[in-house]
Amino acid sequence: MNAAGQTRMNAAGQNRIDAAGQNRIFETGESLARYAATWLCNLAATNAGRFSVCLAGGSTPKQLYRHFADPPLAERFPWSRIHWFWGDERFVPHDHPDSNYGMAFEAFLSRVPVPPANIHAIPTEGVTPEQSAAAYETTLKRFYGSGTMTSERPLFDVTLLGIGDDGHTASLFPGQPALQETRKWAMAVVGVKATPRVTLTYPALDSSQHVAFLATGAAKRKVVARAQRGDRALPAAKVCPVGCLHWFIDRTAAPEGAK
């Protein structure tokens, strides 16, 4: 991997966007969604081999996902080569309105010719959250082909992430043990929210060629500014991929003075 194409920790231990990463501001959430969908499609289409994507939940990604299934973009996606994973999941059935899998399935997976074997959902029924996390880690390791990740061969080609008002990303919440995890690839998150969750940890999320944060709305302006400054109190600010870090935000979420 070319050193110029990497996102690294700076001297203060903060993630930063280098010349290869994009920090783009869009006038609307819709223009953001269109751009991000095309960007991801182009990456997949120009990659000759197997391509892995880690999906996020939330309203902004949902808008993006719908574009995946719309022509002409849907006709350009190499569906047979793309594998779909999730960065986190609420512990509800997949047909529940709060399911991240269910949202993605409704938005695009049910509308495109993706092989069922290429959809790697986090299991949420017939298991405990802890069992689910362990099973998903096994799924990830089997896909990767090893129990040890290396920076030269990222687990994911693209990871999409959101950022909460409290700075959480995936289901990595402030002050929780999962933030300190360095060995497990997935963990159960119980007692933080009303519904238990399963989340990927930093080792798995950071093993990405491209990480793109998506944020829209004025409510995200302050937390986006803090994360981009590298505020280590925010879980989102601790994401440091082996590849490139991107921020795709709309005008209302852009920090004051950003262009």
Written as six digits, the tokens of 20 are 């290869």
Asked if pLDDT for residue 16 goes beyond 50, the answer is no
- pTM summary value: 0.92
Quick: pLDDT tens for 176-231: 999 999 999 999 999 999 999 999 999 999 999 999 999 999 999 999 999 999 99
Q: Taking 70 as the threshold, does the pLDDT of residue 138 lie above it?
A: yes
The predicted model gives 82-98 an average pLDDT of: 97
Reply yes or no on whether the pLDDT at 93 is more than 60: yes
E strand intervals along the chain = 23-26, 51-55, 82-86, 88-90, 156-161, 186-189, 197-200, 208-215, 244-250
Looking at the DSSP bridge assignments, the partners of residue 55 are 86
Q: What is the mean pLDDT of residues 238-248?
A: 97
At residue 145's C-alpha, the angle toward residues 142 and 147, to 5°, is 80
What is the predicted pLDDT for the residue at 20?
Answer: 62
Confidence (pLDDT) at 230: 94
Band of the pLDDT at 41, cuts 50, 70, 90?
Answer: very high
Residue 258 pLDDT level (bands cut at 50, 70, 90): confident
Domains contained in the chain, CATH given: 23-218+225-253 (3.40.50.1360)
pLDDT class for 5, splitting at 50, 70, 90? Answer: very low
* Alpha carbons 236 and 213: distance in angstroms, whole number: 9
Give me the sheet containing 197-200, strands edge to edge.
88-90, 197-200, 186-189
Whether the Cβ atoms of residue 240 and residue 206 lie closer than 8 Å to each other: yes
pLDDT score at 13: 39
CA distances from 234 to 20, 62, 130, 163, 225 (A): 23, 24, 24, 9, 11
CA 33 vs. chain centroid, Å, equals: 14
Cα of first residue to Cα of last residue in the chain, in angstroms, is 30
pLDDT above 50: residue 15: no
